[in-house]
Amino acid sequence: MMRIWLITLISFGVLNASSITTPLLQVENNHAAVIADNLHQGMSGFILRQFDTTHSTIISSAIVEQVNPSNKHAILKLSPYDGLRQNSLPSGQWSPKSSDTAVLGYDYERALLIAPNDDTYDTITKSMQGIEWIHPDNYATYLSYEGHPTPLVKDFQEYCTANSIGLLYIQSAQTLFTLDCKSFTLLEFTPSLVKEETSMTPFYTRVPKIRAAWWGEGSSRLDKFEPYYLEQIALKNPKNQGLYELYKGKFSDKSALLRNFDLKE
């Protein structure tokens, strides 16, 4: 059995975040401006329209695109909402406008953890309170249905949208990465001295085998746990300076992982 040297994980504000509700101040094309505390770039959510005291509906998806911490202003990128898609029912054609309400980080109390083995999974989930953990067995079953023994970013996004999961945690390289599961944006990373001496692929699960499709992206089996997830995080967060410095410090400036970033030195 893997030996664990430290079971206390450091957690910051995002880990205990509740949903943030704030009115839209201005809407232009597919962007909206809001003011709110504790917003992070990459946080996902939706736009709500209240018709009267008892009737409301979601009319758009939203992702925090820019944040100005000095004045708490943020810009949201808007897109069609597909979290409750039902092809047999009509859908409204409403466009967001000022006075509609943005709800961000709505599902952040529900999370999925991708860990290399069962000891790591148990240590992290038992050390973090106030989170409803969705077991990776459920996600492995979904991947088997899709025929993807190598999980794709879109697999995470679609699974989390369908199951109302807000946060994705990935434990790798003695670091706990916290991502918004629907945007795959890195919200924070936390040092974790959990010894990762063994790794299952594609992640810890009790599902004995994930079915593979005949062909296509994701149909091949994952060889190594750590390099794959570190690369996927970098590919979706190429302008994250802090992530770049973390990788550079852990793997040196000659690491192929650093080629995934788009930063000016």
* pLDDT tens-digit series, residues 59-75: 999 999 999 998 999 99
Q: What's the pLDDT at 28?
A: 92
- Considering the domain boundaries, does residue 14 fall inside one? no
- Residue where a domain stops, chosen among 104, 127, 155: 104
Domain that holds residue 247: 108-260
Same domain, 99 and 116: no
Same domain, 66 and 164: no
Same domain, 81 and 180: no
- Considering the domain boundaries, does residue 155 fall inside one? yes
Dist CA 90 CA 111 (whole Å)? 31
Q: What's the pLDDT at 194?
A: 75
- Considering the domain boundaries, does residue 237 fall inside one? yes
- Read off the pLDDT of each residue in 230-238 and give the average, rounded to a whole number: 97
Q: What's the pLDDT at 86?
A: 56
Q: Look over the chain and give the mean of its residue pLDDT values, rounded to a whole number.
A: 89
**Whether the Cβ atoms of residue 87 and residue 57 lie closer than 8 Å to each other:** no
15-24, 131-140, 152-161, range with the lowest pLDDT: 15-24
Same domain, 100 and 144: no
Max mean pLDDT range (46-55, 95-104, 232-241): 232-241
- Considering the domain boundaries, does residue 207 fall inside one? yes
- Read off the pLDDT of each residue in 124-147 and give the average, rounded to a whole number: 95
110-120 tens-digit pLDDT: 999 999 999 99
**Whether the Cβ atoms of residue 115 and residue 121 lie closer than 8 Å to each other:** yes
Dist CA 26 CA 96 (whole Å)? 10
Exposed e or buried b for every residue in 234-244, given b needs 16+ CB within 10 A?
Answer: bebbeebeebb
- Give the chain's domain count: 2
Dist CA 1 CA 90 (whole Å)? 54
Same domain, 119 and 250: yes
- Read off the pLDDT of each residue in 185-211 and give the average, rounded to a whole number: 90
Q: What's the pLDDT at 36?
A: 92
**Which of 87-93's residues contact partners 24+ apart within 8 Å by CB, and which partners?**
92/57, 92/59
Q: What's the pLDDT at 11?
A: 45
Same domain, 156 and 73: no
Same domain, 93 and 160: no
209-219 tens-digit pLDDT: 999 999 999 99
Is the pLDDT higher at 129 or at 177? 177
- Read off the pLDDT of each residue in 128-139 and give the average, rounded to a whole number: 94
- Residue where a domain stops, chosen among 71, 86, 104: 104
Q: What's the pLDDT at 7?
A: 37
Same domain, 195 and 151: yes
Same domain, 96 and 121: no
Q: What's the pLDDT at 81?
A: 86
Residue 196: pLDDT over 80:
no
CATH number, domain at 62? 2.40.10
- Considering the domain boundaries, does residue 13 fall inside one? no
- Considering the domain boundaries, does residue 12 fall inside one? no
Same domain, 38 and 125: no
- Considering the domain boundaries, does residue 219 fall inside one? yes
Q: What's the pLDDT at 8?
A: 40
What tokens does 229 get? 């997830």
Q: What's the pLDDT at 243?
A: 96
Same domain, 115 and 242: yes
Same domain, 80 and 178: no
Instruction: List the alpha helices (DSSP H) in 147-240.
Output: 153-162, 225-236
- Considering the domain boundaries, does residue 11 fall inside one? no
- Residue where a domain stops, chosen among 47, 69, 104: 104
